[in-house]
Amino acid sequence: MDTSDWMGHEDRLPSPQETWPYDPERAKALLAEAGFPNGFSITLTAAIRGSPSEVEACEAITQFWDAIGINVDFQNVPYGTYRPTAVARTYAGASCHNVGARLAPIQGMASFLNSGNFSWGSEHPITEDLIPLAQKSVLAADRIAIEDEIAKFYIEEVFGETGLYVVDKVWPVGPNIAPWGDFIKQGDLRQINGFEYITPR
Query: What domains sit in the chain, N to C, each tagged with a CATH number?
Result: 3-166 (3.10.105.10), 169-201 (no CATH)
User: What are the tens digits of pLDDT across the range 153-189?
Assistant: 887 876 556 666 666 666 666 778 887 777 776 655 5
Q: Which residues pair with 76 in a beta bridge?
A: 46
- What's the Cα-to-Cα distance from 121 to each of 56, 68, 117, 192, 197, rounded to whole Å? 26, 26, 12, 26, 35
DSSP-derived letter for residue 177 is B
Q: Which residues pair with 71 in a beta bridge?
A: 41
Q: What is the pLDDT of residue 72?
A: 96
- What's the Cα-to-Cα distance from 68 to each of 20, 158, 186, rounded to whole Å? 16, 21, 40
- Asked if 102 and 108 touch (Cβ cutoff 8 Å), the reply is yes
User: What are the tens digits of pLDDT across the range 62-102?
Assistant: 999 999 999 999 998 888 888 888 878 888 898 887 766 77
User: Please, what is the average pLDDT of the chain?
Assistant: 80
pLDDT above 70: residue 125 = yes
Q: What is the pLDDT of residue 1?
A: 44
What's the distance, CA 167 to chain centroid? 13
Confidence class of residue 130 from pLDDT cuts 50, 70 and 90? very high
Under 8 Å CB-to-CB from 152, ≥6 apart: which residues? 14
For the chain, what is the largest distance between any 2 Cα atoms, rounded to a whole number of angstroms?
65
Q: Which residue has the higher pLDDT, 154 or 117?
A: 154
Q: What is the pLDDT of residue 172?
A: 62
- Pairing mode of beta strands 71-78, 41-48: parallel
Q: Which residue has the higher pLDDT, 10 or 161?
A: 10
- Asked if 144 and 122 touch (Cβ cutoff 8 Å), the reply is no
CA distance 127 to 135: 12
pLDDT above 80: residue 24 = yes
pLDDT above 50: residue 20 = yes
Question: Is the overall model pTM greater than 0.95, yes or no?
Answer: no
Give the H/E segment covering residue 77: strand 71-78
- Asked if 55 and 62 touch (Cβ cutoff 8 Å), the reply is no
- Collapse the DSSP code of 79 into the 3-class scheme (helix H, G, I; strand E, B; otherwise coil) and give the result: helix
